[in-house]
Structure 1
Amino acid sequence: MKTESSAILHDREQTPDSETLDPSLRTTAPGQYRVIRRNGKVTGFDPSKIAVAMTKAFLAVEGSSAATSKRIHQTVEALTAQVVEACTRRLETGGTVHIEDIQDQVELALMRGGYHKIARAYVLYREERTRERAQAAAKTKKKAAEPPLQVTLADGRVVPLDKARLTRIGEEACQALPETQPQAVLNETLRNLFDGVAEQDVERALIMSARTFIEKEPHYSYVAARLLLDSLRREALSFIHGAETHATQGEMAERYPEYFAAYIKQGADLQLIDTRLTQYDLTRLGQALRPERDFEFTYLGLQTLYDRYFIHSGGIRFELPQAFFMRVAMGLAINEIEREERAIEFYELLSSFDFMSSTPTLFNSGSLRPQLSSCYLTTVSDDLDGIYSAIKDNALLSKYAGGLGNDWSRVRGMGAHIKGTNGKSQGVVPFLKVANDTAVAVNQGGKRKGAVCAYLETWHIDIEEFLELRKNTGDDRRRTHDMNTANWVPDLFMKRVAEDGEWTLFSPDETPDLHDLVGQAFEAAYLRYEEKAACGEIKNFKKQRAVDLWRKMLSMLFETGHPWITFKDPCNLRSPQQHAGVVHSSNLCTEITLNTSDEEIAVCNLGSINLPQHLDENGLNLPKLEKTITTAMRMLDNVIDYNYYSVPTARRSNLRHRPVGLGLMGFQDALYKLRLPYAAEAAVEFADRSMEAISYYAIKASSNLAAERGKYCTFEGSLWSKGILPIDSIGLLEQGRGGYLQQDRTQTLDWDSLREQVKTVGMRNSNCMAIAPTATISNICGVSQSIEPTYQNLFVKSNLSGEFTVINPYLVQDLKARDLWDEVMVNDLKYFDGSAQPIDRIPEDLKTLYATAFEIDPRWLVEAASRRQKWLDQAQSLNLYMAEPNGKKLDNLYKLAWVRGLKTTYYLRSLGATHVEKSTMTSDQINTLNAVQSGYPQEPEAEAQACSILDPDCEACQ
């Protein structure tokens, strides 16, 4: 079928000169897209041409009656939007797309839309045109040699494209990476270049070309990272030297030390780096850099660092990866006596990916304002001055990248009497709206969204309105669409739910002591207030079945993803610091459980062990783990004294108690290495043993630091001082709860000797452990997030740095070993949304090992979390995944979490209703008709499960 209907989408080999690229437009402007035709000419990207072509195709097949015209117009409009999105989504702020890629996407859109006749005619037409071009080429026995492509440099000069250099870069990028082909990357790159292309666009084309191969071979993620690294070197070295400078990775082995010293001095001169860093022995530190570790990044990891972490001036990044890690290490060692020695020790840990500090530490260490802490917890008092002071504190803390947890349980409820005006309160909700808008307005210094979580106890009379804060319906003045929310649930409420009892809601102005009471003391006071309400001594209260409120809590959790369910009594009864105050809330990511008061804002400093880095052929490498944790705890403790505090109450609290939160990441990677399915008793046992080891060595390291530096100020009277370690505190929870606790207490290490050391020597830190989400730092290290199961084995990850193909390299490796990895398998994985389960060719043992988050019974996640919780003095960010939630499943799951002794839970995630189709196959690889069924799933949609940034980045902590 050869009609005009498709011609406009096909090559115009004799493109008029007016459509060739004007020299003044050779550098792609932001947001400007251009089309490369087969003859190498470049024209503007005009979506209307796609619409016109598809309209003609519909008319040619279906006719042009009045009845069909309107339908065709609407259909074409929607299809065109899909094609444009598919063609441009991977181009950053502008760039070029090949005509063949546009045609592929048109074909895919038609087939996905069910317009098979039109798509078939379109495919046949393309094939006919391909044959015609081949015949024409065969008739022309001699083709004139094509002139070399010209490249436009930043200063406007035009030079020939240096293909030899591109070849060298490609070969270096593929070095020691099996099954990667530099020539394939070069060919794909050349296909996407045009005469007069800007130099930076050549670099981008190289990177984008490597990315297209990632779905077939995960090693191409490292290739893309190394090609990006070449661009970074040019940008950084040119800035430092003041002239265009290139260097291969091999050359950087000699150039890194010289560059490093110049970079530190330049950063200090620009007031981006603390001048005290210039006082280090920069020659010694430069010689200690490990340039070869630049090649250990995946593309996602390096692009994340480049976009969001590296120091820049005027938009130019002049910080290279190893310099970045050393800068962070120097900041953390700034108060050490042997500064250079400690800086090198810290650098070795960071650059090896054995341990990674949290995002605020990476952002700000070594800077003029080193705000390195991750989390801040506050409590809001019940008066206007206290409320707006808390909101001001939120703004100041958020400005420098702190994640916030606010306890609002003291603020009086709706209808409560206001003595000063003799009026009635509007309750807590209007103030939460102000706090929500403050978080939006103060966006963490322009680096990422401000993030805050509000906590309210389940007995508060405003709890039902609180549950609805994230709904998309109702009075928008009583909604907080950007704020996270969490229930702070006392054990007594859970008992009433289990026993189908009544529950009474109170306003805190009439029940002020409930806020600070826990366990049996809370239960006794609560019963007294219920008696007073029954006698008419309390006016502002409400009674209902506990089960009804519980059902509403679960219903809102499923519908909006909020409020999260966190448990007040385990957080307090097992707290080492219960002698010094009360835990009134957790933080933004539900892993921090520290005391707060009007005098103290709790602060926590986070970092995470890379668990798979500490495995060998015998399993967990305990000597290496101890060495890593010893250094990591020193780094975390150093944060406390070096840290910038924007609020005095935060500084006072942190210096008195010195809490830190050592966590872990890559748990799923560790299971893959050990060949353990997540949904298995062996995985639960590994969660237990690995967390026991981390807990043991973290407590030991803190005690050793106490011997060197002294105990923290409030050590006396703490559980530590009584020889009660986290494993021992389970008994306190059991006693305070009076039953309803089933938690494993087995142990394997020599806890008796450590218990005696802690009692005798003391502890440097009031709290040592917390498992954060690690959303961003795990990307940097190239491992799975925190304790999360694999989301999907093949999908597209969207975050603030763009979109990235993510494929499970362990699955690919296993499929290759069984000769099952081919293009058909790639397409099958895409068709089945990254799931191995429906693919018949995959053996059952691999299906079990590579079951994804929504294919695992979420009770396994709770069981593993319970085993970790027994060793933690704080908590863990525990997401729960449920493919098909219902009331009964949710009821059982969250009751199980409570009975198993969990302190907190985080997001409930369920599958999004739709997946956006994408393909990154190169044009000469794709079988268009088969590829119609291929598309990547994306991470869960934001409507019901999203964090304020669904990376699923709860990145306020990490």
Structure 2
Amino acid sequence: MSAALATETERPVPRTQSAAAVTAPEPAYRVIRRNGAVTPFDPSKIAVALTKAFLAVEGSGAAASRRVHESVEELTAQIVASLTRRADAGRTFHIEDVQDQVELALMRGEHHKIARAYVLYREARARERAAAKAVAREAIPVLRMATGDGTLVPLDLARLEALVREAGAGLADIDAEAILAETRRNLYDGISAEELALAPILVARTLIEREPNYAKVAARLLNDRLRREALSFLSGRADQATQAEMEARYGDYFAAYLKRGIAEELIDPELGRFDIPRLAAALLPERDLQFDYLGLQTLYDRYFLQAGGIRFELPQAFFMRVAMGLALREVDREARAIEFYRLLSSFDFMASTPTLFNAGTLRPQLSSCFLTSVADDLDGIFKAIKDNALLAKYSGGLGNDWTRVRGLGAHIKGTNGESQGVVPFLKVANDTAIAVNQGGKRKGAVCAYLETWHIDIEEFLDLRKNTGDDRRRTHDMNTANWVPDLFMERVEADGPWTLFSPDEVADLHDLTGLAFKAAYEAYEAKAARGEIKVTRELRAVDLWRRMLTMLFETGHPWITFKDPCNIRSPQGHAGVVHSSNLCTEITLNTSDDEVAVCNLGSVNLAAHVTAEGLDRDRLARTVQTAMRMLDNVVDINFYTIPEARRSNLRHRPVGLGIMGFQDALQALRIPYASDEAVRFADESMEAVSFHAIAASVDLAAERGRYPSFEGSLWSKGILPFDSQDRLAEARPSFVPDRTARLDWTTLRERVRTVGMRNSNCMAIAPTATISNICGVSQSIEPAYQNLFVKSNMSGDFTIVNAALVHDLKARGLWDEVMVSDLKYYDGSLGPIDRVPDDLKALYATAFEIDAAWLIEAASRRQKWIDQAQSLNLYVANPSGRKLDETYRLAWNKGLKTTYYLRARSATHVEKSTLKGTDGRLNAVAVTSLAPVAEPIVVPQASSGSSAGMACSIDDPTCEACQ
């Protein structure tokens, strides 16, 4: 019996009736034999073997046959599904994998007699094979690799071994032998070069959850694959180099790369006129070693230049290309390119995704965000939609202000008809965002903003619902409420709220603060007298609850606050902020003549802390160079519409932000939910603000003030820190925090007398992708989990908090049981008894931290920022009361905007382990979290609606900012 079961899985046999229902999987899967030979995978062999085994144990009577037939079909289906799900990119698996899965299936099906006999037989056969090899001294079969033209050449196992050992060099707790052993087991005669390159990467990936340093090993192995691809492409022949060999070859490669990139019309020919030997000598090949696997794979899939699907841009060439693109108009552009390159490649600062995509190319659209205001006529509406398409084409996130468009039922003078309202046009904008997918690199992304007094506000709230008339739904477009202070005051007082169509109250769109209040109350009086045609009154609290309910249910619309964005804006003299952007961190003026543009980049805060605290000197150097890079974007940028160019050159706004905030806290041993963390948020943002403003002043002294400087708050000596007082005057309930540590008096005078190069300097963006590249925590976010699988456009990636692993190792707590516990408890240390309380506090995850701490830290940052911050709010156990308290607190603390509301997902890390190739339980796999986080569903019994999906924490469809 057991002999039949083991051998039939290896040997071709005729198909039997019991196997007829088991069809081969669609792709061409293959099985690697023990001698290295490869044969097609045929599920019928498993079915036949199982049938023989069952009949040998249970007999061949009619009843037994029926039972066997049913059991075999079920077991075979399970085995095939498991194998094909876990197959590597080459669609191969070892014969031992097949037999491991057979054993597991028998045990799970409680066929213990057969399973026991099978295990014993496998052990006996293993002993026989070992004895036979010892006696016969069989030669190890010589494996060959298939070249691109199909020629078979000897497989260079010595190079494979050297490569794996080089990848693990200098990294603690790495077992190169384990990688090599598993890699060798998956080699076969005739393996392709691509499969050979993937094999050790796939092995290293499975070990990341056990030891985070394997993420660096996998990245280094991936870099070898990239080197082979790039060098072969440039030389026109098979070529490869180890990391050590590239130390001498990087310079020659760089010159060839630029020449080929220009010939392929992918790189601006002006880059070829730089002093190439000087730049090549400045490259730092050793910085290729600092990537984690997720970061390098992200660059490989989406950022590196390619021709015909072949990547020929290596990491340091990539950073130098971006640096050269940003230094094009510098006087000593080689010196500045080297300065910019060193900053980018160090990961101390990273430019935003559009800048990384397009710097140094023929279409250098480097800006991250665009804000528009839609006019109230067909020409204006469809021009805005066309502008969206043109702006999104080269990668950029869009924020549209739709408040001016008249509401449902409003009179149309030209046709003497009634308006269908704003919603049908939002549907067109939604579909345009899907059609124009940012150069094929990621889906277009747009956010529509509407003020809370608009007559269509209730329909606007429903846009993301999955029920109702689909023609009045926008399932792919983000939405946000643009909320005036007066509405929040009415909510707190339980007062009335009146809705209007903007064609009858046109000035409300441009009014803010006390002026808005006076005009709004005058319109309410007119409505009460019947002098306004399209209007409706309701309780402010009822509308507020509806806003929170839809946020609860669909994740939209987000809550953003109109008045603090305008009252504290340095550019109030030059226009009005009518909306924020896709990610709610940009607050710039828009009008018919100006489309606001912002250029983003982020300081890696984790790289600027030591055990003693913030490294202020290093931070000052980083910010000074980063601000110069961002200012250069304004002049170099490729503008797709004239309104964007006009606005950017007139005001020159930039948005310097931060990322790695929680990494910095953990390096300082500060729990996120603590007063110390709030103080650090205050202190660190003050330093970034101080140096950013100082750098803009220095640039003004060198290059001149931005054209609209006169009349700005800057020109009056009012800095972002000072503008808190303006909000307190308009909103007496707001209490500013006036704690400051640096010499703001001297800087304030320099700003007033010398001027500013940039109308706005700071904005904290989500950094969803660039933080992955740098291997740090996203933006100002708390960690989602300490062990999870992140899903994005590059695939699924095991993420382990390396700092936590280091601390657990130091206390003798890191083992397979801890890995299993972290999976079971969804990456949380809280329920694990043997973990000390100090580590539980330090490594608390997002849903273990009360949202009030996130708001408090954000409020301390906001006092230093002239724009806003993308602030996600995490609520573990949401309720109407909790959401009401949370969002009222955000408003009372003076925040300008909020971003996603996140609640626990129904999808968690798999609780069980999978069996590895050695046949033992070894906790190798974690299931993917997709989505990572979802909005909570509020059941609606009357309509039976279900929740729309909010994007996950790292959803590539909403990464337009970063």
**Smaller-chain TM-score range?**
over 0.9
Q: Counterpart in 2 of 1:136? A: 128
* Distance (whole Å) between structure 2 residues aligned to residue 594 and residue 708 of structure 1: 25
Q: Does 1:181 align with 2:172?
A: no
Q: Counterpart in 1 of 2:615? A: 621
Q: What SS does the aligned partner of 2:509 have?
A: helix
* Distance (whole Å) between structure 1 residues aligned to residue 440 and residue 206 of structure 2: 31
Q: Counterpart in 2 of 1:280? A: 274
Q: Structure 1 residues 212 and 507 mapped into 2: Cα distance closer, same or farther (>3 Å)?
A: same
Q: Does 1:320 align with 2:320?
A: no
Q: Does 1:951 align with 2:954?
A: yes
* Distance (whole Å) between structure 2 residues aligned to residue 109 and residue 197 of structure 1: 30
Letter in 2 for 1:480: T
* Distance (whole Å) between structure 2 residues aligned to residue 86 and residue 646 of structure 1: 44
Q: Does 1:517 align with 2:516?
A: no
**Where in structure 2 are the equivalents of 1:72-111 lying within 5 Å?**
83=82, 86-88=85-87, 91-92=88-89, 94-101=90-97
Question: CA offsets per residue over residues 411-450 of structure 1, 9 Å max, x none?
Answer: 1111111111111111111101100000000000111110
CA contact (8 A) 1:500 1:546 kept: yes
Q: Counterpart in 2 of 1:546? A: 540
Q: Counterpart in 2 of 1:379? A: 373
Q: Structure 1 residues 829 and 918 mapped into 2: Cα distance closer, same or farther (>3 Å)?
A: closer
CA contact (8 A) 2:823 2:911 kept: no
**881, 896, 911: which one pairs with 1:888?**
881
* Distance (whole Å) between structure 2 residues aligned to residue 52 and residue 372 of structure 1: 61
* Distance (whole Å) between structure 1 residues aligned to residue 853 and residue 828 of structure 2: 19
Q: Counterpart in 2 of 1:33? A: 29
**Where in structure 2 are the equivalents of 1:666-685 lying within 5 Å?**
666-685=660-679
* Distance (whole Å) between structure 2 residues aligned to residue 71 and residue 583 of structure 1: 68
Q: Counterpart in 1 of 2:9? A: 12
CA contact (8 A) 2:35 2:141 kept: no
Q: What SS does the aligned partner of 1:142 have?
A: helix
* Distance (whole Å) between structure 2 residues aligned to residue 107 and residue 691 of structure 1: 57
* Distance (whole Å) between structure 2 residues aligned to residue 70 and residue 900 of structure 1: 68
Letter in 1 for 2:678: V
**463, 486, 489: which one pairs with 1:495?**
489
Q: Counterpart in 2 of 1:741? A: 734
Q: CA deviation at 1:209?
A: 1.0
Letter in 2 for 1:951: D
* Distance (whole Å) between structure 2 residues aligned to residue 346 and residue 530 of structure 1: 56
Question: CA offsets per residue over residues 23-74 of structure 1, 9 Å max, x none?
Answer: xxxxxx9964333344544344567877899999999999979999999899
CA contact (8 A) 2:349 2:622 kept: yes
CA contact (8 A) 2:689 2:865 kept: yes
Q: What SS does the aligned partner of 1:595 have?
A: coil
* Distance (whole Å) between structure 1 residues aligned to residue 649 and residue 390 of structure 2: 19
Q: CA deviation at 1:146?
A: 2.7
Q: Counterpart in 2 of 1:715? A: 709
Q: TM-score of the superposition, structure 1-length normalised?
A: 0.93
Q: CA deviation at 1:869?
A: 0.6
CA RMSD of aligned residues (A): 2.9
**More moved, 60-69 vs 171-180:** 60-69
**Where in structure 2 are the equivalents of 1:589-738 lying within 5 Å?**
589-737=583-731
Q: Does 1:763 align with 2:756?
A: yes
* Distance (whole Å) between structure 2 residues aligned to residue 68 and residue 459 of structure 1: 69
* Distance (whole Å) between structure 1 residues aligned to residue 233 and residue 246 of structure 2: 16
Q: Structure 1 residues 950 and 857 mapped into 2: Cα distance closer, same or farther (>3 Å)?
A: closer
Letter in 2 for 1:97: F
* Distance (whole Å) between structure 2 residues aligned to residue 476 and residue 574 of structure 1: 39
**821, 827, 836: which one pairs with 2:829?**
836
Q: Counterpart in 2 of 1:419? A: 413
Q: Does 1:226 align with 2:223?
A: no
Q: Structure 1 residues 794 and 661 mapped into 2: Cα distance closer, same or farther (>3 Å)?
A: same
CA contact (8 A) 2:397 2:582 kept: yes
Q: Structure 1 residues 511 and 57 mapped into 2: Cα distance closer, same or farther (>3 Å)?
A: farther
Letter in 2 for 1:804: F
Q: Counterpart in 2 of 1:21? A: none
CA contact (8 A) 1:828 1:934 kept: no
Q: CA deviation at 1:503?
A: 1.1
Q: CA deviation at 1:882?
A: 1.4
* Distance (whole Å) between structure 2 residues aligned to residue 157 and residue 626 of structure 1: 57
CA contact (8 A) 1:87 1:102 kept: no
Q: Structure 1 residues 227 and 945 mapped into 2: Cα distance closer, same or farther (>3 Å)?
A: farther
**Where in structure 2 are the equivalents of 1:800-949 lying within 5 Å?**
800-915=793-908, 917=910, 923=916, 927-928=920-921, 940-941=932-933
Q: Counterpart in 2 of 1:25? A: none
Q: Counterpart in 2 of 1:577? A: 571
Q: Structure 1 residues 49 and 917 mapped into 2: Cα distance closer, same or farther (>3 Å)?
A: farther
**741, 751, 764: which one pairs with 2:744?**
751
CA contact (8 A) 1:659 1:768 kept: yes
* Distance (whole Å) between structure 1 residues aligned to residue 76 and residue 53 of structure 2: 14
Unaligned runs of 5+ in 2: 16-24, 936-946
CA contact (8 A) 2:566 2:572 kept: yes
* Distance (whole Å) between structure 2 residues aligned to residue 221 and residue 679 of structure 1: 29
Q: Does 1:42 align with 2:38?
A: yes
* Distance (whole Å) between structure 2 residues aligned to residue 704 and residue 934 of structure 1: 51
Q: Structure 1 residues 58 and 506 mapped into 2: Cα distance closer, same or farther (>3 Å)?
A: farther
Q: Does 1:250 align with 2:251?
A: no
Question: CA offsets per residue over residues 648-704 of structure 1, 9 Å max, x none?
Answer: 000000000000000011001101100111111111110110000000000000011
Q: Structure 1 residues 77 and 634 mapped into 2: Cα distance closer, same or farther (>3 Å)?
A: farther
Q: CA deviation at 1:926?
A: 6.4
Q: CA deviation at 1:818?
A: 0.8
CA contact (8 A) 1:305 1:780 kept: yes
**More moved, 860-869 vs 123-132:** 123-132
Q: CA deviation at 1:820?
A: 1.2
* Distance (whole Å) between structure 2 residues aligned to residue 465 and residue 65 of structure 1: 63
**More moved, 575-584 vs 75-84:** 75-84
**Where in structure 2 are the equivalents of 1:447-486 lying within 5 Å?**
447-486=441-480
CA contact (8 A) 2:789 2:926 kept: no
**289, 292, 308: which one pairs with 1:295?**
289
Letter in 1 for 2:385: I
Letter in 2 for 1:354: D
Q: What SS does the aligned partner of 2:498 have?
A: strand
Q: What SS does the aligned partner of 2:630 have?
A: helix
Q: CA deviation at 1:127?
A: 2.5
Q: What SS does the aligned partner of 2:798 have?
A: strand
Q: Counterpart in 1 of 2:944? A: none
Question: CA offsets per residue over residues 517-572 of structure 1, 9 Å max, x none?
Answer: 11011111111111111111112111111111111111111111111110111100
* Distance (whole Å) between structure 2 residues aligned to residue 679 and residue 341 of structure 1: 44
Q: Counterpart in 2 of 1:26? A: none
* Distance (whole Å) between structure 2 residues aligned to residue 464 and residue 534 of structure 1: 21
Q: What SS does the aligned partner of 2:772 have?
A: helix
Q: CA deviation at 1:884?
A: 1.8
Q: Does 1:304 align with 2:308?
A: no
Q: What SS does the aligned partner of 2:418 have?
A: strand
* Distance (whole Å) between structure 2 residues aligned to residue 392 and residue 145 of structure 1: 69
* Distance (whole Å) between structure 1 residues aligned to residue 368 and residue 806 of structure 2: 36
Letter in 1 for 2:555: G
Q: CA deviation at 1:767?
A: 0.2
**More moved, 945-954 vs 666-675:** 945-954
* Distance (whole Å) between structure 2 residues aligned to residue 73 and residue 512 of structure 1: 73
Letter in 2 for 1:773: P
Q: Structure 1 residues 16 and 502 mapped into 2: Cα distance closer, same or farther (>3 Å)?
A: same
* Distance (whole Å) between structure 1 residues aligned to residue 294 and residue 537 of structure 2: 52
* Distance (whole Å) between structure 1 residues aligned to residue 950 and residue 53 of structure 2: 43
* Distance (whole Å) between structure 2 residues aligned to residue 78 and residue 134 of structure 1: 27
* Distance (whole Å) between structure 1 residues aligned to residue 716 and residue 383 of structure 2: 37
